[in-house]
Amino acid sequence: MILHTETFGAGEPIVFLHTGLQTGMTDFEEQREYFKTNYKVIVPDLRGHGKSKSNDIVNFYHDSANDLLDTLHHLEVDSAHIIGCSLGALVGVFFAKRYPEKVKTLTLSGIIPEKPSDWTEIQRNEFERLSQLVENKELAGYFNHLHGEGWQKFIDMVQKADSYPFGETADLTALEMPILFMVGEGNRNETKGAILYPPTNKNIHVSIIPFAAHLVHSEQPQIFSNWTDVS
């Protein structure tokens, strides 16, 4: 599946993979403006988001990795710097493991390296939080406009026992491209990666960002852009 994609600028290709229920154009706005002067910035809508219409999310991460491959082929991009947060970072992990030759560098944020002991409670709280979006007519209307009807299926996905691919996030040992793991100091489950990842792979570098939590790129956009700029 070729994803709906917008591109900006010229130079080495850099791909930004958005968070859940966002799109290529509603996420990483600051980074898009920062990088487009020196890079070809590529911002796809992941499947089921924005204008990348798809009702099939049963194997979301695996299929999304294949979607990204198809999209890069369509854009005649041989390899790119891949940057993702949360849902987008998980897609980035799947893509890098399956198509490493397509990844110049990999920047990840907003992912959990190992399953927390209170994961069931975390899932329940997240499901309740997201369910409030459906009950709020104004917000529900916004997401209907952004994604079309059916975006609620991603909320249902959250409560599935195997919804989070811990088997993938726990093991980054085989990846040979340079990896930057950026994590906000305010998320205790994510900061564990700063300890767990580097001993397993010499290619992984870690940056812990103060006054930030899950969404480092929006909470500390200037720091995020400076640290991810490989030029």
> 157-200, pLDDT tens digit by residue?
988 878 999 999 999 999 999 999 999 999 999 999 999 999 99
Which among 156, 165, 164, 162 is positioned nearest to 133, based on CA atoms? Answer: 156
- Per the structure block, which two tokens stand in for 227? 């640290």
| pLDDT reading at 149 higher than 90 | no
pLDDT digits (tens, 9 = 90+) for 3-54: 999 999 999 999 999 999 999 999 999 999 999 999 999 999 999 999 998 8
Q: In this predicted structure, what is the pLDDT of residue 93?
A: 98
Residues 191, 176: Cα–Cα separation, whole Å: 22
Whole-prediction pTM: 0.97
Chain-centroid distance, C-alpha 161 = 20
Return the DSSP state at 110. Answer: S
User: Residues 22, 78, 28, CA angle at the centre, nearest 5°?
Assistant: 20
Chain-centroid distance, C-alpha 16 = 8
Phi then psi dihedrals of residue 204, to 5 deg: -95, 125
What 3-state DSSP class applies to 219? helix
Residues 109, 84: Cα–Cα separation, whole Å: 7
Q: In this predicted structure, what is the pLDDT of residue 71?
A: 98
pLDDT digits (tens, 9 = 90+) for 109-148: 999 999 999 999 999 999 999 999 889 999 999 999 999 8
- Per the structure block, which two tokens stand in for 204? 């992984």
pLDDT digits (tens, 9 = 90+) for 84-104: 999 999 999 999 999 999 999
Phi then psi dihedrals of residue 205, to 5 deg: -115, 150
Give CATH for domain 5-115+165-226.
3.40.50.1820
Q: Between the CA of residue 39 and those of 24, 29, 35, 91, 157, what are the distances in Å?
A: 16, 15, 6, 21, 34
- Predicted confidence band at 231 (pLDDT cuts at 50, 70, 90)? low
- What would the mean pLDDT of 53-70 be, rounded to a whole number? 94
